[in-house]
Amino acid sequence: MRQAIELNENWIFVKHAENVTEAATVQGEEISLPHTWNAVDGQDGGNDYYRGTCWYRRMLESPQLNAGQKVYLEFDGAAMTADVYLNGEKLARHEGGYSRFRVNVTEKLRTGTNELAVSVDNADNDHVYPQKADFTFYGGLYRMVRLVIVPEVHFSMDYYGGDGIRVTPEVTLADGNREHAQAKITVEIWADGGAERVTVTAADQTKQAAVADGYAKAEFELSDVHLWDGVEDPYLYTAKAELASGDVVETRFGCRCFHVDPQKGFFLNGRAYPLRGVSRHQDRAGVGNALTSAMHQEDMEIIKEIGANTLRLAHYQHAQEFYDLCDENGLIVWAEIPYITLHMPNGRENTLSQMQELVVQNYNHPSIVCWGLSNEITASGGVTEDLLENHRLLNDLCHRLDASRFTTMADVFMLEMDSPVLEIPDVNSYNLYFGWYLGELEQNDAFFDEYHAKYPDRCIGFSEYGADANPQYQSAEPDKGDYTESYQAVFHEHILQMIEKRPWLWATHVWNLFDFAADGRDEGGKNGQNQKGLVTMDRKLKKDAFYLYKAYWNRKEPFVHLCGRRYTDRTEAETEVKMYSNQPEVTLFVDGKKRETMQGSHVFRFKVPISGTHRIEAQTGVCRDFITVRKAEEKNMDYVFGQADGVVNWFDKDDFKPGYFSIQDTMGALQSHPQAGALIGKLTESASAARGDVAQSVKDNPNLQKMMMGMTLEGMLKQVRDMVTPEQVKALNDALQQIKKPEQTK
């Protein structure tokens, strides 16, 4: 029998100590786990959160041990590096803030009371990932710690934090039909201490196997297997292994098969199963990354409500508990390591060890289908030979450790499509932010169409897209960069349509389901946060775009949602009332009177004249929703971000004469016309001079150049709004309006 003793209480946290002796004596703060020291300062902006070495200490009573028993300390996560001391002696070091690790303390435990101390460090260095990324690097013992006592002969405890049991299901579908499937289940075990035999039970069948050199394998045939079939039927089996010593390990597994087709996308158990979902960062408001089970559970409930069938668990290994929830709820998961933004010449070993831990610790989860090698890794230093080699090694490692899953990576938009790095993983994905940071929404469509046309035999996915939204900000004329809830909704409406037309995108993941802490950010009215979430960081407020996805994805729970519930004061005489619903028909009531019934799908738009205060009500079947709107004389400035440097509205609609050029044309169209090209040539020259390094990287990068050509001049000007005056923009538009566009050739 093995025994696990939770060590989550009675810790003393010491923020500053020079060494273990000092850490053992100075007064600290009594805390219990999970704990991070950045719960507050990691979320308030300014990038000044405490990054350094802190200490955790606690008394540890030596357990009563039988002969030969071994004792391990097990840490579920210590961010980012940890040194473990017992009675003043350093026993181990672990580098990587998101994976489980163990320390064998058997020989070092004294009878009676022992002093356990752990120094945990989240300061920067040159070799442990992540070092540069758009999220807060919380420090702390932010997951659970326990003491595990195993018999002398036991399942391996020393191999990359794994459990010593690995289950590989191989599913065969009869005539491609998932109603009649068979599975071969291979259960492998690793044991230490001289094990000779193991009893393995899988799906209620039991077998004995001989253990040779600490390794054994048992195979089982399941005819008419109950498949793990995604969100519809995530059926789980159990496998259990037992040694004569009484040591037992148990794991759940699921039987499923999957593949990716460059033309048809993802297949689960023989049928097309388009992966449409969201990304999740683990942290939340007030607690940082120190999450309780209830918090994980709440996140999963929100994921179920939105109706996603896939999750990208970014940008690092998440809690075991959360992968378990994914298994239980049928989510298809992309799992990854924090090899992100900046490739470090000294970091290769760390990428490999973090990947090895990720795969070994998570191999048995049926939810996981792929291993993510890196994220936007070429963003800071481009593609170097060392980076390529690092990716080849990671890719080979994943295949060696796991022949059943594919590898992928999330590419930054400016990575050229023909870069050799794209040839390394089995499938690729791009993070694109056209329509938010840069460019126009339609450029997302064009980008993927070009990729797909150029590489019809390669699988491509959409690993990130999103727009920041502070729910306080509202607009009747939403625009890129305004941080309104209204623009975020419009952004996602476009992207959802573009995705629907491209079933070959093997997976798409919204960035992000939840707002998350990025302490370096100071923007959008909530410093320290990335607000691309569909739900706020405290999980309390679902933004309108959340319900848009729910309308597309949730087929179980009929609902109707009225957008703009925080947009009460409206200056327009006739306002747009927008509903999201997963039902084919909705009805609008104004002040208790039925106004209009509309048929359609997902998004329903109505025009409603307003004069005073109105109760607007939406109905479908028995579902109802209502909001209040009020006719206002003046714009409510609480709805506008940063007033001065927020949205740039230079024009009225009638400043644009059809048939003539204007700033609303794309750079490509303008540049291809001699006169218009000359007019904007001057402007781009002076902008390049002022933004030298940006201009240089645009020149050097064909993808960036192409991206610029697809942007409207107006979009470009907004990007450099600190450098142009409204008068200059108006003058430029007036000049362009004098130039007739060439006739379209039919």
CB of 429 to ligand GCB, least distance (A): 11
Chosen residue from 76, 283, 327, 376 binding ligand GCB by CB under 6 A = 376
Nearer to ligand GCB, 119 or 443 (CB): 443
Find the catalytic residue in 376, 440, 485, 493.
376
Give which of 641, 647, 657, 729 is closest to 477, Cα–Cα. 647
The owner of tokens 């490509």 is: 668
Which residues pair with residue 4 across a beta bridge?
Answer: 148
Nearer to ligand GCB, 247 or 464 (CB): 464
Give which of 356, 304, 307 is closest to 325, Cα–Cα. 304
Q: Is 445 in the site for ligand GCB (CB under 6 A)?
A: no
Could you tell me how many residues of this chain bind ligand GCB (CB under 6 A)? 10
User: Using an 8 Å Cβ cutoff, are 335 and 313 in contact?
Assistant: yes
User: Using an 8 Å Cβ cutoff, are 679 and 737 in contact?
Assistant: no
Nearer to ligand GCB, 234 or 461 (CB): 461
User: Using an 8 Å Cβ cutoff, are 143 and 75 in contact?
Assistant: yes
CB of 491 to ligand GCB, least distance (A): 13
Question: Pattern of binders to ligand GCB over 79-118, x per CB under 6 A?
Answer: ----------------------------------------
Ranked by CB distance to ligand GCB, the top (closest) residue is 134
Using CA atoms, how far apart are residues 102 and 33, in angstroms rounded to an integer?
17
Chosen residue from 102, 365, 532, 570 binding ligand GCB by CB under 6 A = 532
Burial label for 492, CB within 10 Å (0-12, 13-18, 19+), is buried
Judged by DSSP in three states, 345 sits in coil
Nearer to ligand GCB, 428 or 530 (CB): 530
Q: Is residue 376 annotated as part of the catalytic site, yes or no?
A: yes
Q: Is 530 in the site for ligand GCB (CB under 6 A)?
A: yes
Longest CA pairwise span in the chain (Å): 94
Using CA atoms, how far apart are residues 86 and 83, in angstroms rounded to an integer?
10
Q: Is 378 in the site for ligand GCB (CB under 6 A)?
A: no
Nearer to ligand GCB, 318 or 532 (CB): 532
Using CA atoms, how far apart are residues 669 and 682, in angstroms rounded to an integer?
16
CB of 225 to ligand GCB, least distance (A): 38
| Cis peptide leading into residue 355 (ω within 30°) | no
Chosen residue from 464, 519, 617, 625 binding ligand GCB by CB under 6 A = 464
In the region spanning residues 131 to 190, those forming contacts with ligand GCB, defined by CB under 6 A, are 133-134
Nearer to ligand GCB, 151 or 524 (CB): 524
In the region spanning residues 332 to 351, those forming contacts with ligand GCB, defined by CB under 6 A, are none
User: Using an 8 Å Cβ cutoff, are 167 and 142 in contact?
Assistant: no
Question: Pattern of binders to ligand GCB over 486-515, x per CB under 6 A?
Answer: -------------------------x----
Judged by DSSP in three states, 678 sits in helix
Nearer to ligand GCB, 437 or 626 (CB): 437
CB of 46 to ligand GCB, least distance (A): 18
In the region spanning residues 182 to 241, those forming contacts with ligand GCB, defined by CB under 6 A, are none
Using CA atoms, how far apart are residues 118 and 141, in angstroms rounded to an integer?
9
Using CA atoms, how far apart are residues 322 and 315, in angstroms rounded to an integer?
14
Q: What is the length of the chain? A: 746
User: Using an 8 Å Cβ cutoff, are 123 and 341 in contact?
Assistant: no
Footprint on this chain of ligand GCB (rule: CB under 6 A): 133-134, 315, 375-376, 431, 464, 511, 530, 532
The residues that are catalytic are 376
